[in-house]
Amino acid sequence: MAERHCLFRDCPQPVSVGEFRFCPECGHSLRLRDRYVTHRLLGQGGFGRTVVASDWDRPSHPLCVVKQFLPQDPSPALVLKARELFAREAQLLEQLGSHPQIPQLHAYFEEQGVPYLVQEYVAGSHLGAVLAREGPFSAAAVLGVLRGIIPVLAFVHGRGVLHRDVKPENIMRRAEDGVLVLVDFGAGKDAATPEAIATRIGTPHFAAPEQLLGQPLPASDLYGLGVTCMHLWTGREPAQLFDVYRGEWAWRDAVPGGVDGRLGQILDRLVQGPLQRRYASAAEVATDMLSVSPVAAAPSGPGAAPPQRDDYGQLATLMDGDLWREADRLTWDILCRAAGKVTGSYLFGADVATIPCDVWLRLDWLWRSHSAQRFGWSVRREIFQSLGRDYGQLCWHIGWRQHNSAGRPLWLSGEQLTYDRAAPPGHLPWIGGFYGHDGACGEQELTHLLCDRLAYCLSQEGARRP
């Protein structure tokens, strides 16, 4: 990284570019402890700032996160409390130890009287950003959030720690594998340590009633997770989902396509105000989640049949984790089984018609709905039709054919495709790369056959509707 960030509080120009060892503006070292080279700013608040840094004591110079205590409020009492919370975060991360879904503490120290906390860097997007970018979550995605975070809360509570600020911005979807990570224990608390004065802390719209009164419990974190799931499922702010006249949540009508019964019941219990009606532990939630179908009922529409089998549930989970290559492989396996063949086998022209319409439409619905209408066979079919069913032009249009570094046309194989949301519309799923090796049917013929099969299936689906 060329960018460097000076953490000296009075630096007039904290960002510089170049491989400087010392800040060219204020002269302070750009390495903390002569080890951590600070780069870009991640965020800044009233009591500190967070930057991405690299650890030069390790051969690969891996990225990490450095939090600097930098209070802006002049009140001595507030600064003292904020400093206590800053130190507490380091203590809690050390208390939690190593967990694959919690950032690990690397160091806690003071330099020139300023406290610093160094922890593991998690590359990815928090769920608030995912919601803003992709819109309301599907039922399967909400279930994925519960299944991803409930075991983490069970671990955290088992170690005697309360997070106290569970919300979308504190749940990261890790880029490398799609796993959810619970971050920011700055509001955390040791459950066994009483406080002389109850501290009201957390994000108000996500905080449980007892937490706002300074009496947090493990159930308070579960409440925050429940509100998070309602927010992600509806796409609306929590304040818009609460009926102040009845004193209860009124979120179900705001869910696009309706609410799956069992999953809805779990969310309702997670956000109950009275503790006696709410889940008391993450283990209770985990037990109830066993009765939820992997993919909850989805809205129907022209050509869309909601998935019901475990295969489709697994496929939805992979897509929600941005694991598009794995989703592509599973799609092929489902098609092979639907054709009565061994998983990973070949399909021929005749197999396209033998695979039931229900399978083609369910798979297509999943690809479209989980990619914001970017991927799917029907998306590719529309492009193909608009190009006069010209296969060569289609391949250029959807990125299956590109120019190499020498400017020569290149046909991409399945392993060379872009398994990412940034791929051109119609780019995925890839069928040709898995298609047979004995010449019975080529990719071009398969595209025509599938285009016609989808047209037939859509017409049959439309004929069954009143």
Write out the catalytic residue numbers: 165
Neighbours of 356 (CB within 10 A): 12
Angle at 448 between CA 442 and CA 454, to 5 degrees: 125
Q: Say how far apart CA 79 and CA 144 lie, in whole Å.
A: 39
Tell which residue, 340, 330, 352, has the closest CA to residue 450: 352
Amino acid at 60: S
Q: Say how far apart CA 149 and CA 126 lie, in whole Å.
A: 13
Q: Say how far apart CA 341 and CA 374 lie, in whole Å.
A: 29
Burial of 239 (0-12, 13-18, 19+ CB in 10 A): exposed
Q: Say how far apart CA 115 and CA 68 lie, in whole Å.
A: 6
Q: What is the DSSP code (8-state) at residue 202? A: S
Burial of 266 (0-12, 13-18, 19+ CB in 10 A): buried
Contacts for 397-402: CB closer than 8 Å, 24+ residues apart: 397/424, 397/426, 398/424, 398/425, 398/426, 398/427, 399/423, 399/424, 399/427, 400/427, 400/432
Angle at 243 between CA 237 and CA 246, to 5 degrees: 160
Residue partners of 195: CB distance under 8 A and separation at least 6: 189, 214
Residue partners of 406: CB distance under 8 A and separation at least 6: none
DSSP 373-418: SSSSHHHHHHHHHHTTT-HHHHHHHHTSEEE-TTS-EEEPPGGGS-
Q: Say how far apart CA 236 and CA 253 lie, in whole Å.
A: 11
